[in-house]
Structure 1
Amino acid sequence: MPVTKSAKKRLRINKKKKAYNIKYKNKARSSLKECEQAVKSGRPGEAKTMLPGLIAILDKMASRGVIHKKRAARKKSRFARKVNQLQSLMTSSSNTNSGENLSDLKSSSA
């Protein structure tokens, strides 16, 4: 247990920061999972509409110091790439069999 006044204050502040960080990490994690589900189930429209919200959450986390800014950039980039791949596969699959193309995307993202 902290003894000095400043150490006690740091303990209080760290508890508040930890609660804040956990809240935002959980929010980002659940948002990312929802977006991943949309991509895996082959719904490019839904995934594309979720993308700005996910980007906003990651940017806010990076600006507040919850995660590193390069980690946020990496996650945004990877998810945007998945959405764009899905969208291009769906547009090209209108001429061919969509099942084969969708399985290629799932295996490459795993």
Structure 2
Amino acid sequence: MANTASAKQRIRNSARKAQFNRLHRSRSRTAIKKTRLAIALRDLEQAKVELAKAISYLDRAAGKGVIHKNNAARRKSRLMKLYNKAVAAAAAKKS
């Protein structure tokens, strides 16, 4: 247990920051999962919508310092690669 006033304040601050970080991390993870699910179900219209949300949430989390900017860039890149591969496969199937 913290003894000094400053130590108690740090506990309060870190708890508040942890809650903030958890919110943004959770939002981005959920958006990524929804995007991957839509791609797996070959629902490309829904995947496009979810992809835009995921990119937005990842950028927001990186901007706020919740995740590193390179981490966000890597995740966005992987999602885009997966989406583009699914679009290409759908186009090849139509031809």
Do both share a fold (TM > 0.5)?
A: yes
Distance 2:63 2:6 in 1: 26
Asked if 1:27 corresponds to 2:27, the answer is yes
Give the superposition deviation at 1:28. Answer: 1.4
| Structure 1 residue runs without a partner (length 5+) | 96-110
Report runs of 4+ in structure 1 exceeding 6 Å deviation: none
CA contact (8 A) 2:31 2:51 kept: no
Q: Which residue of 1 aligns with 2:78?
A: 78
TM-score, normalised by the number of residues in structure 1 = 0.81
Q: Which residue of 2 aligns with 1:50?
A: 50
Q: Which residue of 2 aligns with 1:4?
A: 4
Instruction: Select the structure of larger CA radius of gyration.
Output: 1
Distance 2:28 2:60 in 1: 10
Alignment of 1:70-109 (within 5 A): 70-95=70-95
TM-score, normalised by the number of residues in structure 2 = 0.92
Distance 1:34 1:49 in 2: 10
1:79 counterpart letter in structure 2:
L
1:27-77 per-residue CA deviation (whole Å, 9 max, x = no partner) reads 112111111110111112211122221111001111111111111100000
